[in-house]
């Protein structure tokens, strides 16, 4: 059974947001979901690109809400 964890990133800028996403994803088990609220104007570009680069699955992409499933290791 997978877990879903919520995280309100507010308006963190790109660098800070991506560092925090990495930290939070590492704390999850493979298959778990991180539900993120990110209001930074660059988030619609940054979050999908980060998911593509890291191999995590972007399950929902509706600014300001995103759901990211942690990849299998």
Range of the domain at 17: 4-69
Predicted local distance difference test score (pLDDT) of residue 1: 75
Asked about 51 being catalytic, the answer comes back as: no
pLDDT tens digits, 39-50: 999 999 999 999
Predicted local distance difference test score (pLDDT) of residue 73: 85
Predicted local distance difference test score (pLDDT) of residue 43: 97
Token pair of 48 as six digits? 């999908």
Catalytic residue among 5, 12, 14, 35: 14
Distance (Å) of CA 39 to CA 29, 51, 54, 73: 26, 17, 21, 29
Contact 56, 45 (CB under 8 A): no
Number of domains in the chain: 1
Residues of the chain with pLDDT under 50: none
Report the CATH number at residue 61. 3.30.110.40
């Amino acid at each position: 059974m997978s877990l879903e964890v919520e995280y309100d990133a507010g308006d963190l800028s790109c660098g800070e947001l991506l560092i925090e996403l990495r930290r939070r994803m590492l704390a999850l088990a493979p298959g778990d979901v991180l539900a993120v609220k990110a209001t930074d104007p660059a988030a619609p570009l940054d979050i999908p690109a980060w998911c593509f680069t890291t191999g995590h699955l972007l399950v929902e992409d509706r600014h300001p809400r995103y759901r990211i499933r942690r990849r299998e290791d």
